Structure 1
Amino acid sequence: MDNLSLKINKTKLNKYVLAVFILSVFWVKSFEFSFLLTLLLTIFYLPKIKITKPLIEVLLLLSLIIIVAIPNTFVYKSSAFDILKGLLYYLKPILMILLGYMVILRIKDWSFFFKLIIYLSLFFASIHIIIAIDWFFSDEPITVLRYRSGKGSLIEILGFVFFIARKKIGITFSKSRRRFIFLLLASSALLYFSRTQIIGIVILLLSVYGFTKLSTKSIMVISGLVLSLIIFFAILNNTDLERGAPGVEGFLYKVKIAPQEVFSSEINIEDHSDLWDKWRSYEAKKAFEQTFDKGLPAIVIGNGLGAKVDLEIDYLISGIPEKEIPILHNGYAFLIFKSGLLGLFFYLLFLLRLYIKTYFDNNDNLKLNLIRKFISGFGFYLLFSTLIISGLYNINGILSLFLGCLLGLEKLTKEIS
C-alpha cells in the first residue's frame, strides 16, 4: 500500500513538474532561464529513463547539425561567448525533446498531456481575450494588441487542435462546455491576427485527419486549399490596402506582403517602411551573401557556431543598437549560415523523419496511429514555421518540449498496448 501511494505521489509530482515548467518558460521568456531550467531537469530525469532507438535517431540528426559547424568555428574567429551562445541555441531543442520524452514516460498517463494543453490553452486564451477587449475599446492599431498579448501562441494552437480531435483522443466535455471552449479558443486564435497561428492550426488538423499522407483524397483537398490561397492572394494583390491601417485591413495588408516579407531580394534600406516589411528577407539576404563570399567551405559547413550576421545597419536588440545578430527569423537561412548546406540537409532529414510517421499505420492500435499523426503534423508545421519564426530554433520557443512529449507518448502507447 505504501509503495502504491509513493508511485501515485511521484506521478502527481511529475505532472506538476511538466505544468510548472511550461508556465515558467511561457511567462519568463528568457533564453538563459529556459535553457538552465531545461538542463537541470534533464540531468535529474536522465538516469531514470532508457533512451530508445527512434529517439536516438531524432537527436542524432540534430546533433550532427552541431558537429558540422565545429570546424569553421575555429577557422572564422568568434569570441568564446558567441561560440558558447551559438552552441546553446543548438542544444536547447535537443534537451527539450529529451526532457519532454522523459517526463511523459514518468507520468505514464496517456491522456494527461492532451488535457493539460487544452486547459492551459483555455487559461491563456482567457487572458488574451481580456487584453483584446481592452484594446477593442481603444483607438490603437493591431500592432499594440500584438505587442501586449503576443504574436501567437503555440499552446493555443495545440489546445485548439487537441479539442477538435477530442473524440479520437478520448476526452469528453458536456455540450455547453464544448460550445464555450470552441468559441473561446477560436476567438483567441483569430484575435492574434497571426498568419502563423491560423496556418499552424490548419496544418495540424490536416495531419490528424490524414490529409498530409499522400492519397487521391489528400491531393484533392490540398490542391483545393492551394487553389483557394492563389485566388485569395490574387484578390488581395488587386485590393488597395493601407500599411498600418487599424483592424482587419492592417492584418490583410500583412497577409498581402507575406511572400515579399520572406522572399524579396529588392529592399530599399533607406525606406524604413520597405525595410521593416521585408526584414526577414533582409536578414536572410545578408546571411547568404556573407556565407557565399567566404567560398565553398562556408557554403558546405557554415560559418561556425559563433558566427553573427552583419546587417550593416543598426538594429535594436533589447533596446541596444547592434549591427550583428546571432539568430535569424528565417530558420533555413540561420542553419545555412551556421552549419552550411550540410547542416540544412540534416535538419530536412529530421523533418522527414517526423513526417513519415504518418505512414506507419497500425490497424490494431488507433491511439498509436493518432500519436504518429500528431508527430507527423509537427514535422509539417516545422517545415513552414522554420521559414517564418526559426522553427525549432526559436530562442523562446517550447515546441521541442511538446515534440518530446509526443515521442514519449508514442513509446508509452506501445508499452501499454
Structure 2
Amino acid sequence: MTPATGTQPALEPVQCCRVVPTRMPELLLLSLLIGSCFLPAEIISAVMLLLFLLLIADPFGEGELHRFPGMMPFLLLLLAGLLDAPGNAARDVAKDLWYVGNAAMTLWVAFLAARKMEGLTGILRIFLAAGVVVAFIHLCRFAVDPMLLSSSVIEIRTEAGVGYLLPALGLGVLLADWRYGLGLVQNRIPSWLCGGLCLASVTLAFSRTLWIALLTFLLVLVGLSYLKQMMKAAAVAGAILIALMASPLSDERAEPGSEATFSEKITNSLAELRVADYEDDSDIHRNWRGFESYRALQTYAEGGAWTHLVGKGFGTGIDLGLTMVLMEEEFDSIPILHNGYLYLLVKAGLAGVAAYLAYMFLSIRRGAAILRLQPRQARACGYLIIALTLFMLQATLVISGLFNKGWIFPGTLLLGMLLGHAESLLHEKGSVLRAN
C-alpha cells in the first residue's frame, strides 16, 4: 500500500540527521551568518534592511505575527535619544540611530524570519553549521602559518583575528542538543567533532567575552538542573570576585610597552573596568574602558534634571579631555563606548537605560514562560533565550552588547529567532486553549 502523503513521524530521525541546509530560507540564513563574520557591518545592515522590508510586506501572506513584543521599549529608547538630538551634527545623530536602530531591526527581522524555518531544530542546525564553518576558517589560518601558535597573544589576534561569536554559539547549541536530545546531530562522533572545532576556535581566539558566553550557556543549560549546587558555587565565585576587586594585586601594571599575556588580561579584567580619571598614557591605554567610562559619567553629569532623564541626545560625543591619535587621525571625543549602559545614559538618559533593561526583562520573561510547556524543544528554547539574554546583559558592560553592530550580530540574530519561535509556541498554545 502506498503511504499517505504528509508529515510522517518515521521520517523525523532522517530529517534530524541532516546538517547541511537545503531550503532557500536556511541557505540565506547560513550565508548571512557566515558573511557577517567577514564582511563590513554596513553591508550586513543593508541586507537586513532589505529583509526587513520584505518580511514586513509579507508577500506570502503569513502575517499573524507582525507585532514584535519588544517594539515598545525600543521605540521609547529611540524617542528619548531623539528628544535632545536637534543641534547635534546630523552625521553623528545618524550613527547613533544606526547603532540603536540596527539592533531593533535585527531582532525584528529574526523574529519574523523564525516562521520560515523548520521549527527550533531548523534554526539551531543553521547556527551550528555556521559556527563550524567559521571555526574551520579561523583554524585554517593556524594551519597555513603554524608559527602563529608560538607568537604572542597580540600577534595571534592581529594575524588570525580576534575570534568570532559564532563558534561559541555553536557550542551553546550543542549543549542544548546534548542536554535535551534535540537530534541536531544524531551520531555522537560528528557531534563531538563539531564541538571540538568550535572549542578550538574559541580557545585560540584568546577572548574573555567568548569564555563568558560559554560559561553562561553552561550555567543556564546545565547548571539550572542542579540549582542548589550552583547556588553554592555562585556564592563561592562571588566571594572570589569581591576579593579580587578589593585586592591590590588586581591593579598591578605591566611595564610600559610590554605585551600582556592572556593570563594577564584575565587578571586585569576587573582593574581595567574600574572607573577613574587616569592621567598617565600607559594607564589610559591599559585601562581604556575605565577611562572612557569616567569621561562618559563626566559628560552625563554636566546636564540638569531633564538631561539626566532623557540624556544629551543622539549625536553627542563623549569628551575625552585630551587629544589622541589613532591611525594618523586626531580625535578628542568618541561616539560610542565599550560600556553600553553608559552609552545609553549619555545619549538617552535614565529613560533609555530603563527601556533597554525593560526589553531584557521581557526577553527573560518570555523564556521563562515557555519553560512551562512540556516538550523538550520548548524547554531548550526557553533556556537558550535566558542564557543569551544574560550574556547580552554582560556583553553590554564590556562590548556595547546589542549596540555592537558587527561582532555581536549572530547573537542578536539568534536571540530574535528564538523569541520568534517562542511567540509561535505561545500563540499555538493560546489557540488550542481557545478551541477547547
Scaled by the length of structure 2, the TM-score of the pair is: 0.83
**Are 2:203 and 1:190 equivalent residues in the alignment?**
yes
Aligned partner of 2:55 among 45, 54, 64: 45
**Are 2:59 and 1:57 equivalent residues in the alignment?**
no
Q: CA deviation at 1:47?
A: 2.2
1:147-186 superposed matches below 5 A = 147-167=158-178, 168=180, 169-186=182-199
Secondary structure of 2:312's partner? Answer: coil
- Of stretches 164-173 and 322-331 in structure 1, the one that deviates more from structure 2 is 164-173
Secondary structure of 1:16's partner? Answer: helix
1:245-289 deviation line (CA, Å, top 9, x unaligned): 67xx71111111111211231412xx3321111111111111110
State the alpha-carbon separation in 1 of the partners of residues 167 and 93 from structure 2.
34
Tell me the residue number matched to 2:262: 251
Residue identity in the other structure for 1:311: L
| Conserved 8 A contact 2:276-2:290 | yes
State the alpha-carbon separation in 1 of the partners of residues 243 and 187 from structure 2.
39
- Of stretches 170-179 and 58-67 in structure 1, the one that deviates more from structure 2 is 170-179
Aligned partner of 1:406 among 407, 413, 418: 418
Secondary structure of 1:57's partner? Answer: coil
**Are 2:289 and 1:280 equivalent residues in the alignment?**
yes
Tell me the residue number matched to 1:347: 356
Aligned length in residues: 400
State the alpha-carbon separation in 2 of the partners of residues 231 and 132 from structure 1.
38
Shift in CA distance, 275/235, structure 1 to aligned 2, threshold 3 Å: closer
Secondary structure of 2:330's partner? Answer: strand
Tell me the residue number matched to 2:17: none
State the alpha-carbon separation in 1 of the partners of residues 312 and 106 from structure 2.
25
Tell me the residue number matched to 2:130: 120
State the alpha-carbon separation in 1 of the partners of residues 253 and 193 from structure 2.
34
| Conserved 8 A contact 1:131-1:145 | no
Residue identity in the other structure for 1:380: L
Tell me the residue number matched to 2:341: 332
Secondary structure of 2:215's partner? Answer: helix
Residue identity in the other structure for 1:256: T
Secondary structure of 1:322's partner? Answer: strand
| Conserved 8 A contact 1:328-1:334 | yes
Secondary structure of 1:312's partner? Answer: strand
State the alpha-carbon separation in 1 of the partners of residues 373 and 308 from structure 2.
45
Tell me the residue number matched to 1:8: none
Tell me the residue number matched to 1:142: 153
| Conserved 8 A contact 2:381-2:418 | yes
1:293-332 superposed matches below 5 A = 293-316=302-325, 320-332=329-341
Residue identity in the other structure for 1:184: L
Tell me the residue number matched to 2:100: 90
State the alpha-carbon separation in 2 of the partners of residues 137 and 27 from structure 1.
20
Q: CA deviation at 1:242?
A: 4.8
Shift in CA distance, 89/138, structure 1 to aligned 2, threshold 3 Å: closer
Shift in CA distance, 82/245, structure 1 to aligned 2, threshold 3 Å: closer
| Conserved 8 A contact 1:357-1:372 | yes
| Conserved 8 A contact 2:99-2:405 | yes
Q: CA deviation at 1:240?
A: 7.9
Scaled by the length of structure 1, the TM-score of the pair is: 0.86
**Are 2:234 and 1:222 equivalent residues in the alignment?**
yes
1:125-154 deviation line (CA, Å, top 9, x unaligned): 122223345364576421121123333322
**Are 2:218 and 1:208 equivalent residues in the alignment?**
no
Residue identity in the other structure for 1:166: D
Q: CA deviation at 1:203?
A: 0.6
Aligned partner of 1:29 among 40, 51, 57: 40
Secondary structure of 2:127's partner? Answer: helix
Q: CA deviation at 1:212?
A: 9.6
Aligned partner of 2:85 among 73, 87, 98: 73
Shift in CA distance, 313/374, structure 1 to aligned 2, threshold 3 Å: same
Any unmatched runs of 5+ in structure 1?
5-10
Q: CA RMSD in A?
A: 3.0
**Identity across aligned pairs (percent)?**
21
**Are 2:276 and 1:265 equivalent residues in the alignment?**
yes
1:278-319 deviation line (CA, Å, top 9, x unaligned): 111111111110121122222111110111112233345665
Any unmatched runs of 5+ in structure 2?
1-5, 7-21, 430-436
1:51-82 deviation line (CA, Å, top 9, x unaligned): 649x63312112211111222112xx212222
Shift in CA distance, 231/192, structure 1 to aligned 2, threshold 3 Å: farther
Shift in CA distance, 137/372, structure 1 to aligned 2, threshold 3 Å: closer
Shift in CA distance, 225/29, structure 1 to aligned 2, threshold 3 Å: farther
Shift in CA distance, 369/190, structure 1 to aligned 2, threshold 3 Å: same
